[in-house]
Amino acid sequence: MAQSDRQHGKFVEITEIGDNPCLVLEGEWTVEHAGELERGVDDVARQLRDKRFDVAAGKIGKLDTSGAFLLKKLLQGKNTPPQLTDSQRALLDFLPKFSAYAPKPAKRRPAYVEFFTRVGKTTDVAVTFLWDIFVFIGRVSVCFARNFRHPRHFRLPSIVRHIEETALRALPIIALLAVLISMVITYQGAMQLQKFGAATFTIDLTVISLLREMGVLVTAIMVAGRSGSAFAAEIGVMKLREEVNALRTMGMDPIEVLVLPRVIALLIALPLLTFLADLIGLIGGGLMSLSLLDISFHQYFVRVQDVATTNMFLVGMIKAPVFAFAIAVIGCYQGLNVSGSAESIGKRTTLSVVQAIFVVIMADALFSVVFQKAGI
């Protein structure tokens, strides 16, 4: 049986010479015909599986590395055919045995080894991230201290622009969320407390949860998703376009030009947004109390004044700059670590949002423990 393509001048044919089948090889064994050669070699190998055969290669014209590789595959450890020219034999001898190309089967490790390996890798990534973040915070702090001694180095136009983007443009969505959250809290609280004849305490529930926790927490999560991701994407694109390196070439510090204005802007914007979210949220609670409990706005705000305290308000406001600093630092850090391609921007932007929200929730939990221990 023959596998041939005489139009291209290459030929793999099985003939009977003596006791064993003989493979007669012809034509040009080069990369241009590698696909047809490989199909012919595989077909012949299937027919002669576990059989002894001879090879006649005297009619091979050209032979390059691709053809030599397929010839190695066909021979499978047999001696080099004597009919080849010296240069062809040298090329064939130069290549390793075909078995060396086959991938070695991976040794399957026990399940517990795989588990602890994953735990170790995850722990190493987390520790490395924490260390890098601490180093980055140190660089930002040093830059702020240096600029504080020379206030003219602060880039006020950039700071104002970022305040507009992170605060003014975010106000509609923050206000809407604050109203909805306060209305949900009031509604759920009223449904439960009415069963015990304590519907009036619904206002207490709304005020305490909004001022201490929900106002600042929901605002910080929204800012993390909106502004934190924007910081990472903007700086990431600048990194890919070599604009960050251009700043260094011009003798400018990227931390001072790109990071510090964003950090300062968010430190100003998030407390303002939190304050407005608290006010708007209380109005939303008043609307729900009016519709559910028939409590007028006057009665509602009198009760709010009785329940709300300065400490309660300050608890939420103290958290805001801490959350803002964490969101800005993580967003800028991930942006400056973008490398390679647009895919890296997507990954770093996603990481900035996930990590910022995680840090915000963890910090909120720590604040709750500290304030509870302090009796606030």
Return the number of other C-beta atoms located less than 10 Å from residue 49's C-beta.
7
- Which of the two residues, 8 and 298, has the higher pLDDT score? 298
Q: Where are the alpha helices (DSSP H) in the chain?
A: 34-47, 65-75, 86-94, 111-149, 156-163, 171-193, 201-209, 215-223, 229-240, 243-249, 254, 260-293, 297-307, 310-336, 342-374
pLDDT at 10 (0 to 100): 45
Separation CA 338–CA 345 (nearest Å): 6
In the predicted model, is pLDDT for residue 25 greater than 70?
yes
Largest CA distance in the chain: 113
- Which of the two residues, 64 and 244, has the higher pLDDT score? 244
- Which of the two residues, 80 and 103, has the higher pLDDT score? 80
100-155 pLDDT, tens digit each: 555 566 677 788 888 888 999 999 988 998 899 999 999 999 998 988 888 888 88
- Which of the two residues, 32 and 232, has the higher pLDDT score? 232
pLDDT at 129 (0 to 100): 87
Confidence of residue 98 (pLDDT cuts 50, 70, 90): low
pLDDT at 359 (0 to 100): 92
Query: What does the pLDDT average to over 218-240?
Result: 91
Of these ranges, 46-60, 215-229, 285-299, the one predicted with the greatest mean pLDDT is 215-229
Q: What tokens were used for 120?
A: 């170790």
Phi-psi region of 37 (alpha: psi -120 to 50; beta: other; left: phi over 0): alpha
Query: How many C-alpha atoms does 223 have within 13 Å on its Cβ side?
Result: 37
pLDDT at 265 (0 to 100): 93
- Which of the two residues, 242 and 357, has the higher pLDDT score? 357
pLDDT at 7 (0 to 100): 37
Confidence of residue 214 (pLDDT cuts 50, 70, 90): confident
Do 28 and 9 contact (CB within 8 A), yes or no?
yes
pLDDT at 303 (0 to 100): 87
**Cβ-count burial 106-125 (b if 16+ within 10 Å, e if not):** eeeeeeeeeeeeeeeeeeee
pLDDT at 105 (0 to 100): 65
In the predicted model, is pLDDT for residue 9 greater than 50?
no
Do 321 and 220 contact (CB within 8 A), yes or no?
no
Confidence of residue 361 (pLDDT cuts 50, 70, 90): very high
C-alpha angle with apex 110: 109 to 112, nearest 5 degrees?
Answer: 125
Confidence of residue 360 (pLDDT cuts 50, 70, 90): very high
Do 183 and 214 contact (CB within 8 A), yes or no?
no
**End-to-end CA, the chain:** 92
DSSP-derived letter for residue 152 is G
pLDDT at 148 (0 to 100): 86
Domain ranges of the chain: 2-100, 147-374
Which residues are within 8 A (CB) of 222 and not within 5 positions of it... i.e. 6 or more apart? 170, 173, 174, 177
Tell me what the pLDDT averaged over the chain comes to.
Answer: 82
- Which of the two residues, 349 and 203, has the higher pLDDT score? 349
CATH topology of domain 2-100: Transcription Regulator spoIIAA (3.30.750)
Name beta bridge partners: 21.
16
pTM above the 0.75 mark?
no
Weakest-pLDDT range from 14-23, 175-184, 313-322, 348-357: 14-23
